[in-house]
Amino acid sequence: MCLGLAVSTPPQPAWAPGARTSGTDAARATASPIRTLTPVLFPTVEFAIFFPIVLALSWALMPRQHWWKPFIVIASYVFYAAADPRFCLLLAAITLVSQLAVWAIHRTDDERLRKWFTAGGVVFDLGILAVFKYYGFFVSDVSDVLNSIGLGMPLPLVTIALPVGVSFFSFQAVTYVVDVKRRQTEPASLLDAAIYLSFFPHLVAGPIVRARDFLPQIRRRKRWVWCGN
């Protein structure tokens, strides 16, 4: 499965109404706008091997947060790379841009600038989601409208592989930016933000977790307390 590698151009529509319709149908039949990758499924042998190893190491490292945090980010990215390693770049880009947005929001008291930085972060996050989920439908609809008024022209129809879980981490990135804008949470470190957006137990299947609920839990220092009689 490829990330936007296959490009096809629908055939030139004829000027006869019947030919225009058949041209559109042929384009849809030969070029699927979005490919959905097989998701990473939890009830698989691979996950049955992956999870106990990660769980054991996570429990062992949890009291040492400077080790646990990088470990859980790496484990989450390895988990996500099982679908397609290239989508890790998309996840990393959303993490970096959202983090830049919240840093900028936090560093200024000018309410107008805070709104602009918030809008920039939200537009980027939702723009990524829109491109991957709705680009193909948009091109097909525009082509239909142009054909219906006699202005049919070939539009490039890019076959895009739909990243697993893109809706979940895109909306979580939006909640992160919005929560910082509303002063409901402090900006996280880049490492904490990466954990929040990539945490593998909810990365591909949800649910969407608010930043103000998740981030305080990983900021809190953890230690083992052995209870006995």
The pLDDT assigned to 41 comes to 57
Domain membership of residue 23 as a residue range: 6-219
The pLDDT assigned to 2 comes to 38
In a domain, 227, yes or no: no
In a domain, 182, yes or no: yes
In a domain, 225, yes or no: no
At 160, phi and psi to the nearest 5? -110, 130
Which parts of the chain have pLDDT scores under 50?
1-39, 229
What are 175-200's pLDDT values in tens digits?
999 999 999 999 999 999 999 999 98
Q: How many domains does the chain have?
A: 1
In a domain, 177, yes or no: yes
Kindly tell me the burial class for residue 176, based on how many C-beta atoms sit within 10 Å of its own C-beta (0-12, 13-18, 19 or more): buried
Predicted structure pTM score: 0.69
Token readout for 162 is 């739909």
